[in-house]
Structure 1
Amino acid sequence: MWQQTYDPLGNLRLSALVAALPILFFLVALTLLKLKGLTAAIATLAISIIVSSVVFHMPLEKIVGAAVFGILSGLWPIGYIVLMAVWLYRLAVKSGKFDVIRGSIAAISDDQRIQVILIAFCFGAFLEGAAGFGVPIAICAALLVELGFKPIKAAMLCLLANAASGAYGAIGIPILIGAQQGGVNLAHLSAMMIAIVQLSTLFVPLLLILVLDGYRGVRETWPVLFLIGVLFSGLQTLTLYFVGPELTDIVAPLGSMGALALFMQFWQPKRIYREEEALPISTQRWSLTEIIKAWSPFYILTGVILLWSLPQFKSLFAADGLLAATVLKLEIPFLHLQVQEMPPIVDAAEGLPAVWNVALISASGTAILIAVILTTLLSSRLSPSEAFKQLKWVIRDLWSPLAMISLILAVAYIANFSGASSSIGLRLARTGKIFPLIAPVIGWFGVFITGSAVNSNILFAHLQSVTASQIGASQALLVAANTSGGVMAKLISPQSIAIAAAAVGQVGRESDIMRTTLPYSFGLLAYVCLWTFILSFLVR
């Protein structure tokens, strides 16, 4: 048994700074040094191993165990989900359906500003709510490229759009976990999420058009921006308040897509905006039957994932469920319950579990695989051999970004098990009454290293709650701040960047995507920090 030490250097500020070195290096490697994502990830892993061993005195076998655990978690479920999502998209293109999809989108509007609101913002939010884990970025970025958007810009727009939906992804799991780990009432946490996030959500569509076409674009499309901003944020707020987080990213995107399609039948911008290199607009129009068939891969995907998310279905895979045997629970040697978290991170010394869960059937990736199989069987232009050929090409294209994701998760797991992540959190928590200004930064950091708002809440929601009690702040507010700050890191987390680069065929240009998105992530984080600080005086 090995116990974590959070201040190995006898100075918590210095210990936290050293703990942050791997993450700081990764940021510098992608933004200033312009290294390829995989190269930066390998170097970051090496630095992480040195820091955890030399500074935090973590035994070597436990470092190796944590790294293996991270790599395995990168492959399953994350790699599995991304691989299946991109495979489904490639089959939709190969089957010839995408010409019809492009035409159906053009029938709503030829204007690419409207298309980015429809695809990146609305459809992306729906996929976030139904699946999460990079699926909306993988599919929507590729869709935008097919519609004529430049690859780097398409990736950036999809990452930026995720700021409006990332908090409620995968049927609201980040909020549910935040309430559980932070020990706060779910309704109170939902109310604090409304107070922090929903104001910024109003302006995300405007921000997308600013990036795409500047102030002129905003002036020319303001009716759409007003309609979608108010409707989307309003529906999210009402769903979150009256129903809960599970359907927040389902109801709002569906309502917004329907309203946008209807509104565009009566209004179009006077100037049609299209990128210089965009394909010419097709004048061909398709029948309703053809459009329904063309979109079939995506509504099949939606139907299967929603089925997978039903409580009755999930109960089949619980410990006492009929299909519990299909969930493999593999304990990581030398790591499982062999590392103890210590106070003040937890109330008493507690062994950390290290179990790799391989859900063969209940994984979201399997739901997408079923959509792949059904799409292949229902398409006259796709044979099983052609589908497998597409899978080989997807694996060839994605091995590098998936390797990068796995290595960065190895860094994250080493930081978590060594106590380095907690060291950073504890140092920030010592800022006293000013802590609410810093609280979202902890969530931002958690998502940056793990790529997941769920994991960030697992790491830091308890710390936020305990610190709130010590300084007399609202526990629900600071857990919400952890989640909200984390969402702003999804724009630039290594997982998101790697998936976006692969989706638009720009593997090796992760640094370009990072540099274009980083200012927006910092800007949105600054908003969350300042607004949380103001709310801390108003909410108790």
Structure 2
Amino acid sequence: MFIQHLAPVADSLALSALVAALPLITVLVLLGAVRMRAHRAGLTGLAVALAVAALAYGMPVGQALSAAVQGAVFGLFPILWIVVNALWVYRMTVRTGHFDVLRRSFSRLSADPRIQALVIAFCFGALLEALAGFGAPVAISAVMLVALGFDPVKAAVVALVANTAPVAFGAMGTPVVTLAQVTGLPLDGLAAVVGRQTPLLALVVPLLLVFLVDGRRGLRETWRPALACGLAFAAVQFAAATYLSAQLADIGAALAGAAALAALPAARRPATEEVRAAVLTGARSTGPDRRDPRRTVLRAYAPYALIVVIFSAAQIPLVRDALAGATRAVDWPFLDVVDAAGTRVGGNVLTLPLLATGGTLVLLAGVPTAAVLGVRARDAVREWAATVHELRRAILTVTAVLALAYVMNLSGAATTIGHAVAAAGAGLALLSPVLGWFGVAVSGSDTSANALFGALQVTAARQSGLPPGLLAAANSSGGVLGKMISPQNLTIACAAVGLAGREGDLLRRVLPWSLALLLVMCLIVVAQSTVVLGWTLP
């Protein structure tokens, strides 16, 4: 049995916290200053975490390695299992040409490029975030905007800023699921708190997008559709996260936002030639008069409709219980850890939701999708294998970061840092979103930031008397605002629109908005920690 110690280094909490932070410092320096590739930085940080666990905390080497393997397994299933299957569905739509059909369908919803930016970057981007995440929404949305005639820089900036409000529930709720796993807090409770934070961003982001597209004129002329889109998105995201399912929060919100735009007459008014000349500075890739047959358009929408139907059916109590029946709890071998109070920690047992997980449900939707799109079984399998190959570095990065997080959590290093950070007292409410923002800014993933800092936030909250669920949720909600400035996302955006090497230009454009929205989130969390907005918490 390994007993976690709070201050193993010279009985000093400050020195112990400094040593405990070495793995995180290593990863951040290698990513931010050295600019090492993410998978190599993650593996190096994992090696440092193992050394700290064994040498500073006295964790047996076998148990430290077992903790790392458990974290890597969790990274593969259910996290990467979701991402691989979601991108597999997307690749099949590209292979069959139905992705272009979908893009043309969006362009016909409105002839106003400012509304098109809302439909594609905010609504469809949110749907892509819900299904895949991990950079896919930014790349795909930016490419679609350029194809409609947007300037590449503007298209990249719009795609990056739009990829904020849905991130906490992205990839079928993976960031929130991971947060619940590493903190031991109930998933439903965490999702409900996040659902009272990120919807407030959804009210602002559409207004910001039309301003980015067309300045004050765009805001003056299209604020009503933008506000209606944001209200519909926020309301459904809140309701789904609170009463239905974290996995469906972004799907429902994205569809609601698009429906609000489609139903509003002001959104369908064509823009003046002056506006189009100012906004659409590129060349359209498709003629404006081309129309696809209704049957082809329906087939293009079918993959996403199938996913929504299957995930909705999975929430029916009878079906949900049947899927949960396949869940297996594994008593993890070579791992026996208790905290300083003698209580066994949750990492001793690994829960595997074999069927009741987003990845399996997306896979179930992908099979009929292949049939609807006319993809032969052999080609569908090849596309799945190609997806895995395309994500090989991302797979290595995520498994390394999750392994690092599990070693830190089970060795007690995260608890030590949490106790040290708790010295900030009530100021933690202001700092907790900043910590999540910083983690996503350097790692490019809200999931990774939650894995790294989730347990730390909970420990610090308990030490300072603040609600643990509030600070854990704030880590994720603040983290979504760091995604637009992460090197990973900036690189993806530049590569998608042909601006390789101009990541610095994009960073300068989006950094002020990232900081401004982060300040708003900090104020929201501070208010929720007091009587001002404390009544909004579940």
- TM-score, shorter chain, exceeding 0.5: yes
The match for 1:53 is: 54
The match for 2:77 is: 76
- Cα distance in 1 for residues equivalent to 2:50 and 2:373: 49
- Cα distance in 2 for residues equivalent to 1:185 and 1:395: 30
The match for 2:367 is: 373
Pick closer, same or farther for the CA change 1:171–1:485 going to 2, 3 Å. Answer: closer
Q: Where do residues 291-370 of structure 1 align in structure 2 (5 Å cutoff)?
A: 291-318=297-324, 321=325, 324=326, 327-335=327-335, 338-343=336-341, 349-370=343-364
Deviation at 1:57, TM superposition (A): 2.6
- Contact 2:418/2:457, CA 8 A, preserved across alignment: no
- Contact 1:232/1:255, CA 8 A, preserved across alignment: yes
- Cα distance in 2 for residues equivalent to 1:251 and 1:114: 20
Specify which of 291, 296, 316 is matched with residue 290 of structure 1.
296
1:437 corresponds to 2:436: no
- Contact 1:123/1:253, CA 8 A, preserved across alignment: yes
- Contact 2:20/2:414, CA 8 A, preserved across alignment: yes
Amino acid at match of 1:266: R
- Contact 2:6/2:412, CA 8 A, preserved across alignment: yes
Pick closer, same or farther for the CA change 1:160–1:72 going to 2, 3 Å. Answer: farther
The match for 2:5 is: 5
Number of paired residues?
512
Q: Where do residues 138-537 of structure 1 align in structure 2 (5 Å cutoff)?
A: 138=136, 141-148=139-146, 160-167=161-168, 170=172, 174=176, 190=192, 194=196, 196-209=197-210, 218-219=219-220, 221-236=222-237, 248-263=249-264, 266-270=268-272, 271-272=275-276, 273-274=279-280, 276=282, 279-318=285-324, 321=325, 324=326, 327-335=327-335, 338-343=336-341, 349-380=343-374, 382-441=375-434, 451=447, 459=455, 463=459, 466-467=462-463, 470=465, 475=467, 479-490=469-480, 492=482, 523-537=516-530
- Cα distance in 2 for residues equivalent to 1:245 and 1:20: 31
**What is the DSSP-based 3-state SS (H/G/I as helix, E as strand, rest coil) of the residue aligned with 1:164?**
coil
- Contact 1:163/1:487, CA 8 A, preserved across alignment: no
The match for 1:44 is: 45
Deviation at 1:27, TM superposition (A): 2.8
- Cα distance in 1 for residues equivalent to 2:426 and 2:65: 39
Amino acid at match of 2:367: I
Structure 1 unaligned segments of length 5 or more: list them: none
- Contact 1:52/1:58, CA 8 A, preserved across alignment: yes
- Contact 1:52/1:415, CA 8 A, preserved across alignment: yes
- Cα distance in 1 for residues equivalent to 2:250 and 2:489: 21
Amino acid at match of 2:321: S
Structure 2 unaligned segments of length 5 or more: list them: none
**What is the DSSP-based 3-state SS (H/G/I as helix, E as strand, rest coil) of the residue aligned with 2:338?**
strand
- Cα distance in 2 for residues equivalent to 1:46 and 1:223: 53
Deviation at 1:18, TM superposition (A): 2.9
Pick closer, same or farther for the CA change 1:315–1:50 going to 2, 3 Å. Answer: same
Structure scoring higher RCO (CA < 8 A, sep ≥ 6) equals 1
Deviation at 1:105, TM superposition (A): 0.8
- Contact 1:398/1:502, CA 8 A, preserved across alignment: no
Question: RMSD of the TM alignment (CA)?
Answer: 4.2
**What is the DSSP-based 3-state SS (H/G/I as helix, E as strand, rest coil) of the residue aligned with 2:164?**
helix
Pick closer, same or farther for the CA change 1:384–1:146 going to 2, 3 Å. Answer: farther
The superposition leaves residues 328-387 of structure 1 with CA deviations (integer Å, 9 ceiling, x where unpaired) of 44443212xx111235xxxx533433344444433322222222221222233x222222
Deviation at 1:125, TM superposition (A): 3.6
Amino acid at match of 2:474: S
The match for 2:23 is: 22
Deviation at 1:124, TM superposition (A): 4.0
